[in-house]
Structure 1
Amino acid sequence: MTARDAAEAEAFLAAHPEIRQIEAFLTDPSGVQRGKILRPEELAGAYRHGRPLPCSILSLDITGADVEETGLVWDEGDSDRDCRPVPGTLTLAPWLDTPTAQLVLTSYEKDGTPTDADPRHAVARIKAALEAAGLFPVVAIELEFYLVDREAMLAGRPRPPSGKTGFRQSQLQAYLLQDLEDFSPFLDEVYRGAEVMGLPARTLISEYAPGQFEIVLGHQTDALRAADDAVLFKRLVKGVAERHGYVATFMAKPYAAWSGSGMHVHASLADSAGSNLFAGEGEANSLLKFAIGGLLATMGESIAMFAPNANSYRRFRRNSYAPVGPAWGIDNRSVPVRVTAGPPASRHLEQRVAGADANPYIALATVLAGMLEGIEKQLDPGAPIIGNGYEQIEPSLPASWPDALAAAGASDFLPRRLGERFVEVYLAIKRAESERFFAEIPDLDYSLYLRLA
C-alpha cells in the first residue's frame, strides 16, 4: 500500500471520530462477505501491512463449510493470506447502531501476487486484458430483490410484508407507485445510506411481484468499483431491511408463482479518451456486435457462474424475463442480451442472465470475458430477435445445476479468461455444495413418494 492509501484511513478517522469499529471483509467465491472487526487504532496498520485471514476463507460453500477439494484447507495447513484494503472502499455502515465503518479487502499471496481464488482478482484480470487492447469497460450493475415478512420467514413460509399502511400486497402490480409509497420509510433510508456510503443509487422501481424492488446503480468507469458498489449495496439493503423489521433477499427465486430476481449487467467499452466505442445507430457498430457474439457463444458454458445455487435454476422459465437460450435484440427484454434504446452516444448492452444471487465479481468478470472473446474472435451474433424471443428461441442453456457445472468444467473459455486456478476452486466449491444439496431429503419427497412409491 502507498502512503496515499494509508492517508485515506487517517483522513477517514479524523472526519469520523465517532467510529468504534471497522468491519473489514472480502467476498468469497459463493458471494458471502467474511472477515474481521477491527478497532480504529488498528486501521492504519491494516493499510500499511494488510490483515491476515486464513486461506480456507476462500474455500467455503454457501453454508460456510470447508470444501477440502479446493486444496485451500489442510493441503495448505490453513495458512494465512495477506488481505489488503481496497482504496476508496472505506465507508460508513449507516444501518448499525454502533458507529461502524466498513472496508473491502482483497487477498494476496506471501510473495505479493494476487490470490488466484479471490473473485475480485478475476475482474482485475479481465479488466487488464481489455485495457491492454485499448478497451476500457464502463459498467453498471442492476439488482432486484424481495422484502420478506420476518415472522413468516422464521416460520419457513415466506410472504410479502406489509408497508406503513398495514396493507399487504398480493397482486403483481408492476411499477406501482403506491407500493413505493407504502415502503417509503425503508426505501428512503436505503437512499440516505447510499448517499452516506458514496453509492450511485439511481432509479427505483417496484418490480413484477409483491415486495419486489429494483434500484439501479449508476455507471462506473472502473469495473472493479462497479462490482464493489454491488457488494456494498447488497449489505446496505439487507442491513436497512433488518432495522425496519423485514428480511431482504437476493435469492434468485423465493416464490414459485412470482418472478425471480436478476442481476443485470450494463456494459459498454470506451477508448482511452473516454469516448463510447459502442456509440452509433441500430446494429451498425461492429465492435458492439462482436461483443454480443462473444456473450452468446460463451453463455451455455458460463451459466454456472451466473446461477451459482440450486435455487438459481428455478428462475429460468419461458415468459419470465429470464433466459432460456442465447439470443439478442434491440430494446427487447425477451432476450438475454439487450442493446438499450436511447441516444446513440449512450449505446450499451445489458446482459440479463445472472440471478441476483450471483457473486457480483464473478458475474461481471464472466460478462467482460465473453465480450473480449467475441471481439478478439470477431464472433457474429446473427440477426437480432424481433418480437417475442420466447417463441423463437430454442431452449438450450443448462437447465439444472449439475448440467451447468458439467458445462463449465468442460469449458476452455472460462479458465483461459478468468484464471485456471480460480475456476478450479470455484467449481470444486459448487460441485461439493451441489452434492450436499442433493443428498438432503426435502419434505416434498415425503409428500410425493413416501406412501405411494
Structure 2
Amino acid sequence: MVADPQECRDFLAAHPEVKFVEVFFTSMTGVPRGKRLRIHELQAIYDYGRFLPGSVLVVDTQGADCEDTGLVWEDGDADRRARPVPGTLKLAPWLGPDMAQVMLSLYELDGTPNDLDPRHVLRRVLDRFAADGLTPVVACELEYYLVDLERTASGDLQPPKSPLTGHRPDGIQVYGLPELEAIAPFLRELWATADVLDVPLEGAISEFAPSQVELTLKHKPDALAAADDALIYKRAAKGVALRHGCEATFMAKPWSDRAGNGFHVHVSVNDAAGNNLCASEELEGSDLLKHAIGGMKALMGDCMAILAPNANSYRRFKANSYAPVAPTWGVNNRTVSLRVPAGPPPTRHVEHRVAGADGNPYLVLAALLACAHYGITNKIDPGPAVVGDGYAAAAKENVRLPSNWFAAVDLFEASEVLADYLGERFVEMFVKVKRTEQARFFEVVTALDFDWYLRNA
C-alpha cells in the first residue's frame, strides 16, 4: 500500500515552514538509509516514486556492498522504485524547525513489492494470518543505553553526566525514580517528539544498569504499523539524545559486565470481530495461545540469526542475566524465553523475550509471527510450562539456543519453515549478507587479540 499524493499536498499546505525532507527506507540490517531533499522534490515522490538502487537493501551494517548477493555488478546495480508509506510524512523536530521526514518502501519497476524489503517480508507473513481470518496484535519494548559522546581515557564507554545533577549514574538502581529524574529533559523532548510523529510512546523505567532505559510502545492490531513505530522511535531517540549531548545505543551488549539491551515483543491474536483468541481464565492462556507458543518454541533456534543478527548480539545471552538462553516458556516468569504475563483474562498474551534491541523490527516481527502462525496451524504443543528458575530447567534438560553467530546463520539457512514464510530468495540473500559481514568482522585484528595471543601464542 502506497500513500495517496494528496497526503503530500495537505502536509505542504499545513507546514509552509518546511524547507527540507529526509526520505528513508530500511535495509536488511535494520539501518535506515535514504536522502535529504529540498521540499520541492517531495511531491514527485508521491506522484511517481523515487528510483533507488536495489543493492542498498543488501548492504552490510557498515553500508558496504555485499557482492555475493548478485545485486551489484551482475544486476547492473539496477534501480527499484521507492514509494512513500502512508501516514509517515511528519515533522522531524530534532533535525530542525524546517525539517520533515517520510518513510519509503521499495517496489519493482512494474509495481510489485520488492521481496527483499523488510516491510514486504513482514507483510508476506501477515497475509498468512489474514487468509485465516486472524490478526496479530503486537507491542514492542526496546531497551537502550544513553552513553556519553566522549570515551574514557582508556577508550571505554561511560554513562553521560546528568544535566541536572552533574553526576554520572552508577549502580543498578532498577526502577529507580531519581535515575529517571536525572534524564528528565531527554525524556520530555522524546515524548513530545513521539507525539509529533504519532508514535504511541508510553512510560519509561530505569532498567538493570546505569543509564539504561526502557520505554514501551502501545500495542496495535497492525503489526506492520507497530514495526514502523519501532523503527521511527529508534531513529527519533538517537536524534533527541544527540541534542542532549549523549548517544542512544541499541547495541545488544555495550558493556561486558552490565545488562544487555533486549527487544521484547508482546503478541496476541484477534479474530475478525476483534476478540482476543488468547483470552482465558487460565493463566496459561487459551489453546490457540499455547499453540502459538509451541511454534515459537520449536523454531526459536531457526530464528536466532534474525533475533540476534550481529556478532555482538551473542554476548548478551548469559544464564541468570534476564536474557534467555534456551527455548522455554512459563507463566509470570522472567527467566524463560516466552512469558505469559499476569493480568486479567481479556489481556492474555505472550511476551517473546529473546531478540536484542539491535534486531531489525520488521524482520524480528516477521520471524516470531511466522513461528506463531506455524504453531497455530499445526497445533504444536509447547509442553509443560517451566515453574521457577528457567535457567536451571534449561540446564537440566540440556537445551540451548545457538550460542554464536555462525551456528545461527547456518540454522536459519536450513529452515524450510522460515523459507516458506519469509521467502526463499529473502533467506538466501540474508544469509549472504550475514556471511559477508562475518568475514569482514573477523578479518579485523583487535586489541583483545594482542592481549590474549601476542605473548602467549
Q: TM-score, normalised by structure 1?
A: 0.98
Shift of 1:283: 2.5
Q: Distance in 2 between the 1:154 and 1:431 partners?
A: 34
- Counterpart residue number, 2:408: 404
SS at match of 1:138: strand
1:45-444 matches, cutoff 5 A:
45-152=44-151, 156-163=155-162, 164-281=164-281, 282-393=283-394, 394-444=398-448
Paired letter, 2:430: Y
Q: Distance in 2 between the 1:234 and 1:154 partners?
A: 29
Paired letter, 2:8: A
Shift of 1:183: 0.5
SS at match of 1:74: coil
Q: Distance in 2 between the 1:284 and 1:440 partners?
A: 48
Q: Distance in 2 between the 1:374 and 1:152 partners?
A: 46
Shift of 1:449: 1.0
SS at match of 1:329: strand
1:191-239 per-residue CA deviation (whole Å, 9 max, x = no partner) reads 1101111110012110000000000000111111000000000011000
Paired letter, 1:301: D
Shift of 1:395: 4.3
CA 1:58–1:284 in 2, change beyond 3 Å: closer, same or farther?
A: closer
CA 1:202–1:151 in 2, change beyond 3 Å: closer, same or farther?
A: same
SS at match of 2:355: coil
Paired letter, 1:344: P
Q: Distance in 2 between the 1:190 and 1:376 partners?
A: 40
Q: Residue 140 of structure 2 contacts residue 264 of structure 2 at CA under 8 Å; is this kept in 1?
A: yes
SS at match of 2:373: helix
Is there any run of 5+ residues in structure 1 with no aligned partner, and where? none
> Which moves more between the two structures, 185-194 or 144-153?
144-153
Q: Distance in 2 between the 1:109 and 1:18 partners?
A: 34
Q: Residue 207 of structure 1 contacts residue 213 of structure 1 at CA under 8 Å; is this kept in 2?
A: yes
- Counterpart residue number, 1:33: 32
Q: Distance in 1 between the 2:50 and 2:97 partners?
A: 22
Shift of 1:39: 2.1
Q: Residue 59 of structure 1 contacts residue 73 of structure 1 at CA under 8 Å; is this kept in 2?
A: no
Is there any run of 5+ residues in structure 2 with no aligned partner, and where? none
Shift of 1:452: 2.0
CA 1:74–1:99 in 2, change beyond 3 Å: closer, same or farther?
A: same
Q: Residue 174 of structure 2 contacts residue 209 of structure 2 at CA under 8 Å; is this kept in 1?
A: yes
Shift of 1:156: 3.2
Shift of 1:153: 7.2
Q: Distance in 1 between the 2:58 and 2:391 partners?
A: 38
Q: Residue 324 of structure 2 contacts residue 337 of structure 2 at CA under 8 Å; is this kept in 1?
A: yes
Q: Distance in 1 between the 2:323 and 2:98 partners?
A: 40
Shift of 1:297: 0.5
Shift of 1:425: 1.1
SS at match of 1:293: helix
1:335-360 per-residue CA deviation (whole Å, 9 max, x = no partner) reads 01111211111111110110000000
Q: Residue 119 of structure 1 contacts residue 422 of structure 1 at CA under 8 Å; is this kept in 2?
A: no
Q: Distance in 2 between the 1:415 and 1:68 partners?
A: 22
Q: Distance in 2 between the 1:446 and 1:169 partners?
A: 32
Paired letter, 2:185: P
Shift of 1:50: 0.9
Shift of 1:154: 9.9
Q: Distance in 2 between the 1:387 and 1:115 partners?
A: 45
Q: Distance in 2 between the 1:230 and 1:373 partners?
A: 24
Paired letter, 1:267: V
Q: Distance in 2 between the 1:155 and 1:14 partners?
A: 52
Q: Distance in 1 between the 2:19 and 2:62 partners?
A: 29
1:226-277 per-residue CA deviation (whole Å, 9 max, x = no partner) reads 0000000001100011001001100000001100000111111101111111
Q: Residue 285 of structure 2 contacts residue 349 of structure 2 at CA under 8 Å; is this kept in 1?
A: no
Paired letter, 1:314: R
Identity among equivalent positions (%) equals 53
Q: Distance in 2 between the 1:128 and 1:225 partners?
A: 14
Q: Distance in 2 between the 1:43 and 1:416 partners?
A: 37
SS at match of 1:366: helix
Q: Residue 285 of structure 2 contacts residue 348 of structure 2 at CA under 8 Å; is this kept in 1?
A: no
| Number of aligned positions between the proteins | 452
Q: Distance in 2 between the 1:112 and 1:58 partners?
A: 17
> Which moves more between the two structures, 249-258 or 102-111?
102-111
> Which moves more between the two structures, 280-289 or 357-366?
280-289
Q: Distance in 2 between the 1:99 and 1:367 partners?
A: 39
Q: Distance in 2 between the 1:153 and 1:82 partners?
A: 45
> Which moves more between the two structures, 152-161 or 380-389?
152-161
CA RMSD of aligned residues (A): 1.3
Shift of 1:410: 1.2
Paired letter, 2:423: G
